[in-house]
Amino acid sequence: MENHEKPHFGYIYPRPAVTTDCVIFGFDMTEELLKVLLIERGIEPFKGRYALPGGFIKIEAKTNEYGLVVEERNESLLECAKRELKEETGFDVQNIYELGTWSTPGRDPRCITITDAYYALVTIQPVRGGDDAADAKWVPLYQVLNTIKNLPEGMRFLAFDHDEIITAAHIRLQQQLCFEPLAFKLLPKRFSMSTLQKLYEAILEKNFDRRNFARKMLDSGILDVFPTESRNINYQLNLEKYEEFKRTGRLSNLIF
């Protein structure tokens, strides 16, 4: 895209370039902070800025007997998002959700590019020996959002329109959390009730009463209880009960 090589794929009508970007949320249990995974851009445009991981959709194309371009193999946008994530950050993510498209003319200075944004939830391992992927960094979400909020009009923190995407992803995560126990996707298999509560508080930016929170969670019946050697209790999501809970439509009980 950056060189002047002669283009070799033609279409009757011009087409926009298509990318996916992904907002990856992780909960850092030691710092009790909700974080996002950002990539420092190594090339122009926006070289040196942080950006969401993502990239162009992959299409295998050739020209047929009539000189028309025929696409032979390709991927869905979801597959594209997962592939780019794996390539750029090493993460293999199942919990990935579509957020929406961004397509304002001019959002990419190189060419007309529309992006389909996704958000994903991953477990950050308690001990991380630095970041696996080159240039990928876990950044506290509140830092990013505050920076964005306090920028003077017209200025941007992240590359492209990623400020807007990350802001929208946070709002969406908050909304979805009210209906689906998404939070468990951000935790290891077993966790304490207070960790779960801290996670909810980090996402929703609210504090809850310890007893009410625990009761609501336990009453829902989706948690299995595991005593530990100490007096503390650990919990684990019971997937069957969760599915049943979902079916019987009692999910609104989890709204705060």
Among 101, 143, 175, 253, binds DNA (CB under 7 A): 253
Nearest residue (CB) to a second copy, 67 versus 227: 67
Q: Which of the stretches 1-9, 60-68, 227-235, 236-244 binds DNA when contact is defined by CB under 7 A?
A: 227-235
* Contact (CB, 8 A) for 122 and 27: no
Map 104-126 to HEC letters. CCCCCCCCCEEEEEEEEEEECCC
- Kindly give the interhelix angle for 141-149 and 162-177, rounded to the nearest 10 degrees: 120
Backbone angles phi, psi at 228, to 5 degrees: -110, 180
Should residue 233 be labelled a site residue for DNA when binding is judged by CB under 7 A?
yes
Residues 168-207 binding DNA (CB under 7 A) are: 192-194
Q: Which does 98 bind (CB under 5 to 8 A by kind): DNA, a second copy, none?
A: a second copy
* Contact (CB, 8 A) for 224 and 217: no
How far does CA 144 lie from the centroid of its chain?
A: 14
Query: What is the Cα–Cα distance from 224 to 4, expressed in whole angstroms?
Result: 60
Should residue 231 be labelled a site residue for DNA when binding is judged by CB under 7 A?
yes
Q: Which of the stretches 100-108, 125-133, 148-156, 232-240 binds a second copy when contact is defined by CB under 8 A?
A: 100-108
Token pair recorded at residue 200: 């909810």
CB atoms within 10 A of CB 199: 21
Q: Which does 215 bind (CB under 5 to 8 A by kind): a second copy, DNA, none?
A: DNA
Nearest to 138 by CA among 75, 218, 50: 50
Should residue 255 be labelled a site residue for DNA when binding is judged by CB under 7 A?
yes
Nearest residue (CB) to DNA, 74 versus 212: 212
Should residue 9 be labelled a site residue for a second copy when binding is judged by CB under 8 A?
yes
Report in angstroms how near the CB of residue 224 gets to a second copy at its nearest: 29
Nearest residue (CB) to a second copy, 65 versus 229: 65
* Contact (CB, 8 A) for 217 and 198: no
Among 216, 241, 246, 251, binds DNA (CB under 7 A): 216
174 CB burial (10 A radius; 0-12, 13-18, 19+):
middle
**Helix, coil or strand: residue 155:** coil
Among 74, 146, 147, 232, binds DNA (CB under 7 A): 232
x/- contact string, 51-90, with a second copy (CB under 8 A)? -----xx-xxx----xxxxxx-xxxxxx------------
Interface with DNA (CB under 7 A): 192-194, 209-212, 214-216, 230-233, 253, 255-256
